[in-house]
Amino acid sequence: MTEHRIVAATPEPRTRDGLIRDLQQLGVKPGETLLVHCALSTLGWVSGGAEAVVRALLDAITETGTLVMPSQSSQLSDPVHWQAPAVPDSWIEIIRETLPAFDPLTTPTRDMGAVAELFRTWPGARRSLHPTCSFSALGPSAETIIARQPLAEPFGKDGPLGHLYRSAARILLLGADFDTCTAFHLAEHMAWPSLPRIAEGSPLIVDGQRRWVNFDIASGDADRFPKIGKELMLQGLVQTGVVGSATCHLMSMPAVVDAAARIMAMQQPPSE
């Protein structure tokens, strides 16, 4: 949506204070650990844009809480799998040889939105070291959350999602749809311990040198996430409210991951 259309659709400017009030009314609490997926344009026209949203989230959980967002960088995945857009076969080796190595400080996010991209650069924010599936965190638990993220299991129990699950974090879909809910990938691991594997690769710094590193990664299927989200709402596991102009969903991560895993276990697992 263009900014012109966002302004036209917004009855009055959304402000940092107004967003804090809406977040509190939704149920966001001081001191909690919150995994946020945000679609900025759905909030209406926000005075201060992405910066105001990040500040409102930090104010709502206070300095005693920990804010977490995905900071994925799919542009560093193996170009042989790219579809949006695909590239000619003759380009693949050139791309593998020239992509900049992952750097947690400088590698930008891709398709994560303006709020997540700003948050990864926020003073004090820490980022996990997975080249394509990293998370950023800020707050007392940040270092523990991002400390480990296995190359071949970025969404598994030993990575940031596993820690968030065990620490009873909550998930906030801030105008974002359930298809963005990365926690459901952890549910996939729980439902199907032997997920199909996909050959992957990324440019990394190894022993001080840029190298292309091959690894495999579990297959996933986010296309089923919206339907699962609707089922979780019917089960009463999701608090829904309005922040700015956006319909938002707040939920307990362990509760919805466990429920999603039960639903998935009755379905066919993802294919390669």
**Tokens for 248?**
């938002």
Give the mean pLDDT of 179-185.
98
Strands 66-70 and 33-38, by their bridges, are parallel
> What does the CA dihedral 137, 69, 63, 250 come to, rounded to 10 degrees?
-140
The stretch 185-199 carries a mean pLDDT of 94
- In DSSP terms, 218 is beta-bridged to 197
Give me the mean pLDDT over the 257-269 stretch. 95
Confidence of residue 64 (pLDDT cuts 50, 70, 90): very high
Number of other CB atoms surrounding residue 99 within 10 Å: 19
Residue 217 confidence (pLDDT)? 93
Scanning the structure block, which residue is given the tokens 């994925």? 72
Spatial separation of the C-alpha atoms in residues 1 and 5, rounded to whole Å: 6
pLDDT at residue 270 in the model: 81
Q: What pLDDT is attached to residue 24?
A: 99
Average pLDDT over residues 210-219: 95
φ/ψ of residue 202, rounded to 5: -155, 155
Cα 122 from chain centroid (whole Å): 16
pLDDT in tens, 105-149: 999 999 999 999 999 999 999 999 999 999 999 999 999 999 999
Tokens representing 199 are 């050959």
Mean pLDDT of the chain: 97
Encoded amino acid at 119, one letter:
F
**C-beta of residue 102 within 8 angstroms of C-beta of residue 203:** yes
135 phi, psi to nearest 5 deg: -125, 150
Q: Using CB atoms within 10 Å of the CB of residue 3, give its burial: 0 to 12 exposed, 13 to 18 middle, 19+ buried.
A: exposed
Cβ atoms 153, 222 nearer than 8 A: no
* pLDDT computed for residue 269 by the predictor: 85
- Reported confidence tier of residue 272, pLDDT bands at 50, 70, 90: low
Percent of the chain with pLDDT over 90: 94
Question: Pick from 222, 202, 223: which is nearest to 213 by CA?
Answer: 202
pLDDT (average), residues 201-228: 96
pLDDT of residue 202: 98
User: Greater confidence, 270 or 57?
Assistant: 57
Using DSSP's 3-state secondary structure scheme, residue 88 falls into coil
As beta bridge partners, residue 6 has: none
Local structure of 123: helix, strand or coil: coil
Mean pLDDT, to the nearest integer, of 193-206?
Answer: 94
84 pLDDT higher than 90: no
The tens digit of pLDDT for each residue in 27-47 reads 999 999 999 999 999 999 999
Quote the CA–CA distance of 33 and 36 in Å, as a whole number. Answer: 10
Q: Is the dihedral of CA 54, 247, 22, 245 positive or negative?
A: positive
